Structure 1
Amino acid sequence: MPSLPKPRLRRPARGRGSAVAHAPEPETPNVEVVEHDGLRWVNIVQPRQVDRAWLEEHFAFHPLDYEDVFSRNQRPKVDEYEDYLFVVLHFPAFDKQVGRLNAAEVDVFVGPDFVITLPNQPIQPLEYLFTQAQQRDDVRASLFGKGAGYLLYKIVDDCVDASFPMLRKIGNKLERLEEDIFEGRSGEIVRDLSNAKQEIINFRKIVRPQRSALADLERTKRYIPDDLDIYFDDINDASERIWDMLENFKEVVEGLESTNESVLSHQLNDVLRVLTAFSAVMLPLTFVASIFGMNVHVPGQDSITAFWIVIAFMVGLLGGMFYLFRRRGWL
């Protein structure tokens, strides 16, 4: 493999008496390199075309792989070539601008003496691991001392394990929502339930296609010795635990949503029951009042005693209907 590039300074020719043209400064590749014991880790965050030119100059990768690196909608996969391994993986990352989980893609080239990571956005566990390898000799020795396959394992393992704190936050959020439902805040948490459900759906979209890619990575033997099989099997176990937790969260949030709808429906039924009882009570009273309010002669029309008799009858009727409704459990 060609060695790392050395900067070459070129001075443009100037004619005598000619004006100097100030050309725009060329972009410099955003390439970070850590090397130890004959193994190099090249990290390029959010690769650009100038970074692609640098890679094409120093590595003979397939043109389709470069297209995959710079494409947006790429599924997780593992491609084996004669001279290298190309891996595409997705990991959940919280986007603060939109306030939800999105897929962070990292493309990895693995060769006999190099590992190249190209995340399309900063991934915290990957950045932390690379910084530790840069700054600490003991970490660099432990990561690079077992070959490119072990370095690939550590990168993938740290990125997969970063999902568990996110899942714990989702679990705590679901517990708080359950408490709010039974504390009488059902109407206020409808949006929160919807956001939690959408978050779980986005997480599942990221993890589902990743499972087959991690299984393919475990089966591949290129640059991954047999003694590392148990390590990649551990990554698969972690991925399955993540999927099981997401399945459980999916059932929980659907149950909470159904429970919240039942509580809201029960509250609405209570309101309708009170209104119906009030209407049922007022209906006979309105009927009696309408009879004696007609513009025709009725018994006792000119008697004050008849008026009080009608009032007493209406009060007795009101009390009897309340007693009946309470006895039946309608009020």
Structure 2
Amino acid sequence: MFHKRHPQVGAAPGTLVIPEDAPTPRFRQILYSIDGLKSDRPITDLEELEAAPESGVSWVDIQGFGDRRLLVELAETYGLHPLLLEDVVNVPQRSKVELHDDNLLIVLRMVKVEEDAKITIEQVGIVLGEDYVLTFQEKYGDVFDPIRKRITAGHRRFREKRADYLAYSIADSIIDHYYPALEVIGERMEDLEEEAVVAPTTAILQKIHHMKNRLINLRRALWPQREALHSMVWEPNTLVGEEVRLHLRDTYDHCVQTTEVIEMYRDMVSGMINTYLSAMANRTNEIMRVLTIVSTIFIPMSFLAGVYGMNFVDMPELHWTFGYPMFWSLATVLAVGMLIFFGRKGWLRPQETKQVNDPE
């Protein structure tokens, strides 16, 4: 279910809500310019932060919100609005793009696939300035290592572009990493569909509902990102250049595509629930068919036993020497005859579905 950290009712705007188990912040700064990489190092003290080189970019990555003082000092260093800092710390926020003074706030939801195929969703706050980019992450670890490698390797496109291109690259990496998550979900859904048909159990139904909830969470994360990226592409903004807007169109297309895939998966999950219910109904019908056949075989036996179990004195067969053997012989003949009849009708085995050839 949805749970959001929020300040107490009546608290002042910009109040930060830091959970007790929040990890200690880790700072990392990367400085580069057209001349190449200047520095890439972790920061233990905010006084170690350096300004962006001339015609260059400074990328400060913050992972963990466990120290309120450091976050407030960082906001004061870069002149961040208190409401902006509240949006990136009090998670989760709805994905959005907002302009605060000279900064552009971009809130997105990052998906990570763990080693055990577990999928986690984490909020990432991107603050774009004239010559710097700040990224705020609530936990350690992200999907930005390919970007860092390209910067440290002196990739020409990064060296020649402004900070808006770095912000675009981060947003594009977040959206592209939805594809591996969707592949994992697709493979799992194929397994669930097969299990729902072959061996429908309550455990399978629980897994299907769990998958449905996971897709709902992914959809809730992706839909607002479409609006956020759309606003970055089409709404005028001095911090995002026209060339970067062209790149953002491609990212927006990827976001739309992943959203459509999630919608398709949701329909498939609903279909799997119907498949499970149909399989359970077929299984119940098979059980009822077997019970009906057994009951039908015993109906004439019960009739004979009822007739000869009546307490009439003048019943001819009661004093007959071969009455008892004749009774069992007749009952056996009836049972065998009915089994032969049911077998010829094909009622003793499940009905096979005839395959219709596709004319195409």
Give the TM-score band, short-chain normalised.
0.7 to 0.9
Match of 2:13 in 1: none
- State the Cα distance separating 1:203 from its structure 2 match: 1.4
Unaligned runs of 5+ in 1: 1-27
Cα drift, residue 96 of structure 1: 8.6
In 2, Cα distance between equivalents of 1:29 and 1:306: 95
Question: What is the SS of the residue equivalent to 1:262?
Answer: helix
Matched AA of 1:77: K
Provide the C-alpha distance between the structure 2 equivalents of 1:211 and 1:56, rounded to a whole number of angstroms.
28
Separation in structure 1 between the aligned mates of residue 132 and residue 27 of structure 2, nearest angstrom: 14
Aligned mates of 1:202, 1:96 — CA distance in 2: 20
Quote the Cα distance in structure 1 between the aligned partners of 2:106 and 2:146: 20
Shift of 1:57: 3.1
More moved, 70-79 vs 45-54: 45-54
Q: Does 1:276 align with 2:292?
A: yes
CA distance in 2, matches of 1:57, 1:307: 104
Give distance in 2, aligned partners of 1:56 and 1:243. 34
Aligned length: 300
1:93 pairs with one of 104, 112, 127: 112
Aligned to 2:316: 299
Q: Is contact 2:232–2:245 with CA below 8 Å preserved after alignment?
A: no
Contact residue 177 and residue 193 of structure 1 kept, 8 A? yes
Q: Counterpart of 1:126?
A: 144
Q: Which runs of 5+ in 2 are unaligned?
A: 1-23, 34-52, 349-360
Q: Could you tell me how far apart the structure 2 residues matched to 1:288 and 1:29 are?
A: 86
Pair member with larger Rg = 1
Task: Please give the root-mean-square deviation of Cα atoms over the aligned residues, in Å.
Answer: 2.6
Q: Deviations for 1:187-223, whole angstroms, at most 9, x for unmatched residues?
A: 3633332332222222112111211111112224322
Q: Secondary structure at the match of 2:319?
A: coil
Letter in 2 for 1:91: M
1:77-156 matches, cutoff 5 A: 77-94=96-113, 101-130=119-148, 133=151, 136-139=152-155, 142-156=157-171
Q: Which residue of 1 aligns with 2:338?
A: 321
Q: Is 1:180 paired with 2:195?
A: yes
1:31 aligns with 2:34: no
Over the matched positions of the two proteins, sequence identity in percent amounts to 27
Single out whichever of 208-217 and 291-300 deviates more from structure 2. Answer: 291-300
Letter matched to residue 84 of structure 2: D
Counterpart for residue 61 of structure 1: 80
Q: 1:44 to 1:132 in 2, by over 3 A?
A: farther
Instruction: Give 1:310's aligned residue.
Output: 327
Q: CA deviation at 1:105?
A: 0.7
Write the distance in 2 (CA, Å) between the matches of 1:312 and 1:53: 96
SS in 1 for 2:63: coil
The 8 Å contact of residues 126 and 136 in structure 2, kept in 1 or not, is answered as yes
Task: Provide runs of 4+ in structure 1 moved above 6 Å.
Answer: none
Query: Partner of 2:79: helix, strand, or coil?
Result: coil
- Which structure has greater helix proportion? 1
Q: Deviations over 1:60-111 (max 9, x none)?
A: 12111111122123111111134121111112235799x8644311111111
C-alpha distance in structure 2 between counterparts of 1:121 and 1:64, whole Å? 21
How far off its partner does 1:328 sit?
Answer: 4.5
